[in-house]
Amino acid sequence: MCVSTGSEQNHRLDAGTRKTILSALRARDLRLTEQREAVCEAVFGCPGHICAEHIQETVAASHPALKMNKTTVYRTLYLLMELGLVSEHRCGDGRAQYEPAMRGHHSHLICRGCGRMLDMDDDLALSIAAETSRRHGFRVELESYPLLGWCPDCRA
């Protein structure tokens, strides 16, 4: 299993987020089922990135009576990505992590030791992109490709 950030968090959807999700689903003549809402709560309630396995665990812990298998989690995630509500990021080991798309495009740092994915500071990402362009005339796309390295905990 991957290392998700903040997977222990679980919050009900706030009114604005719920309205956005409902609107996107209704535009496709779909409903916000209990399963979809539970997956949304796990993704939108996570302060960082979360994998499908941790989404399933979060849903099981917060909605013990709700039957949820991994196929339902993935189907819901793919739907949310099609609707532009969720973004998928691939970790260094190829595992997918998900986060709300409303967080916008940003770059990631992935630890080779523990697998944790962190958001890169926007100013640092812009600086790297500008310097790469200045030195090499090359335009980098850091949103799609994370920088790999070692977090402070694993370096210690």
The residue among 124, 123, 117 whose CA lies nearest residue 99 is: 117
Q: pLDDT (tens digit, 0 to 9) for every residue of the chain, 156 residues total?
A: 455 555 455 578 889 999 999 999 999 999 999 999 999 999 999 888 899 999 999 999 999 999 899 999 999 999 999 999 999 887 656 678 898 988 877 787 888 888 787 878 888 888 888 999 999 999 887 776 778 899 899 998
Q: Strand 147-149's sheet: what is its strand order?
A: 117-119, 108-111, 147-149
Query: How many whole angstroms separate alpha carbon 36 and alpha carbon 144?
Result: 27
Are 48 and 4 contacting, i.e. CB atoms less than 8 angstroms apart? yes
Burial 27-52 (b: 16+ CB within 10 A, else e): eeeeeeeebbbbbbbbbbbbebbbbb
pLDDT 10s digits, 25-47: 999 999 999 999 999 999 999 88
CATH architecture of the domain with residue range 15-103: Orthogonal Bundle (1.10)
Pick the CATH number of 108-155 from 1.20.58, 3.30.1490, 1.20.120, 3.30.2310: 3.30.1490
Whole-prediction pTM value? 0.76
Q: Tell me whether domains 15-103 and 108-155 share a fold.
A: no
pLDDT 10s digits, 93-111: 667 889 898 887 778 788 8
Residue-range domain boundaries for the chain: 15-103, 108-155
Angle (nearest 5°) at CA 156 between 153 and 108: 40
Amino acid letter for position 120: M
